[in-house]
Chains A and B, each alone.
Chain A
Amino acid sequence: MSQSSAEHAVVWPSNGISQVPFRVYTDQDQYAREQERLFKGQTWNYLCLTVELTKPGDYVSTTVGETAVIVVRDAKGAINAFVNRCIHRGNLLCLEPRGNVKAFSCIYHGWVYNLGGQLTGVAFEHGVQRQGGMPAEFRKEEHTLQPLRVAELGGLVFGTFSDATPDLETWLGADVTRGLLRVMNRTPHILGRNTQVLPNNWKLYFENVKDTYHASILHLFLTTFRINRLTMPGGIFINRDGGNHYSYAKLDYAAEDAEYQNAHLRSDSEFRLEDNSVVESVDEYGDGVSVQILTIMPGMVLQQVRNTIAVRVIRPRGIDKTELEWIHIGFDTDDEAMTERRLRQGNLIGPAGYIAMEDGFIGGFVQRALHYNDEGAGIVMMGGHDADSQTFRASEAAIRGFWKHYRALMGE
């Protein structure tokens, strides 16, 4: 499906952000530039949770875009990140997803790096029986693994390849920083991870998460069981660059509770849940917000959907393949009942989620429709042409924010 040629370039119809050329989802050159300018450019990428790196030597091996990266806590307690590639012959240095090491040692030729990424050992550096060995001018201390800058916020660890990326909180913007810290206000632990392989370009999923317009149309679960009617107004905050955002909606928890109590009296609805525990929620943040979806450019989502908290990481794997990892989170304050509540509500999200399942295939349907039929541009005009924060949610403003930031970073 990939095409690349001068005649098949991505051409934007205007300088605006409310019309998006379909070729951004199908063009191989575009995909390659995204790796350089978005994932390795001036963006902060999610790496892991701080609690995954408690002791010196604890590491996580992950990816930023397509690039393999190691994140590790060193002996001084600092968190370092570098590209998972031996400087010698380019071999993958770290093969396990997580663990604890004293140093990173390449299996190919035994080159060794300390937890700061500094080269400390070269097998047979001085040769064997005084024959061979590295030239005299080769100095180990002049060689390090390619580093990323690292920042932490709310128990989440981020990395950037670029020296020019502003500090994390400035880059996120005040609103998105506040939204992140609202959810991550206690010490988290991981309840489990799931990865969904999506048959579509990564941007189609990221746009879907930023799309507050589709939720009540594509996802019929809540309306079928008449659960969502008590939803009260919310809003959308979008940062100045446009790529970071959060949307939220409040819920009248007390009224919903009363509704459940009276469920057996209900006669106006033919459909009701046999077991309400999949949606029975508590107002754990004390502010009445039942849904908050937060996105960070270019590929992270932090969600609160009732009492399900999750980080979603969007990993491009080719123009028409994306891996979506769900990292389900609980907190140190959770008692047994809260954990069980989160697990039962876990049916709402993830690859089998009652209100997430459709997002798994919809991008693939778009991708199929674009197959050798990718001329023209899509329309993203709900709520106007700008990417400003809004007090209503029937809007595509956050999608436009994505394209605003995208075009700036890509230089298009």
Chain B
Amino acid sequence: MSMDIRQGIHDLIGDYAERIDEDRLEEWPDLFGDPCRYLVISRSNFEAGMKQGIMYAATKGMMLDRVFSIRRANLFEPHRYRHVIGPIRVKSVEANVAVVHSHFMVARIMQEGATTLFATGRYLDRIDVSTTPFRFQERIVVLDSDKIDTLLAIPL
């Protein structure tokens, strides 16, 4: 695998966390191809082969609707995330698709300051490395816990 591919993968994964954490949600769908698959799911559901997650998008349109809804339709107590991405493992690169696994921890910072560890888990990615920059074909967010505190408004 070339260093260029490895660098492109790291850039994409870093860009993803930055766009969410810096509240640039409108730019979040641009990191995906169309159609795509974005799914937030608990590990117990995922390992049992169940398909129902917590948040799901199969097209870029569905992701844009999610962002628009966060901005204009849904009500929730304002908060931000801070992603910390752990080891990034490139499992394979075949036919211009890289299979990449990485670990994450996400802190949730409420408007009034309370900061808690909100979610931990793994990203299971399929990344199209034929475009510049690279794009996600699929990002499955596998949460370690079955429990979500209060609600999930912003994508993880």
Contacts and interface: CB of A to CB of B under 8 A. Distances in A.
Contacts of B51: 191-192, 339, 343
Contacts of B65: 273-275, 278
Contacts of B146: 193-195
Interface string A324-368: 000010000000000110111011001110100110110010000
Interface string B42-55: 10110000111111
B72 A224 contact: yes
B73 A360 contact: no
A328 B151 CA distance: 17
A220 B73 contact: yes
Interface string B63-77: 011101100111111
A224 B54 CA distance: 22
A358 B75 contact: yes
A224 B64 CA distance: 15
B149 interface: yes
A128 to B, nearest CB: 42
Contacts of A165: none
B56 A347 contact: yes
Interface in B12-69: 40-42, 44-45, 50-62, 64-66, 68-69
Contacts of A194: 42, 45, 52, 54, 146, 148
A147 interface: no
B84 interface: no
Bin chain A's interface residue count: 35 or more
A360 B151 CA distance: 6
Interface in A78-128: none
A interface majority secondary structure: mixed
B77 A352 contact: no
Contact of A354 (B53, B58, B61, B69): B69
A192 B40 CA distance: 12
B117 interface: no
B153 interface: yes
A317 B131 CA distance: 50
A340 B76 CA distance: 28
Contacts of A354: 69, 73-74
Interface of B: 40-42, 44-45, 50-62, 64-66, 68-69, 72-77, 146-153
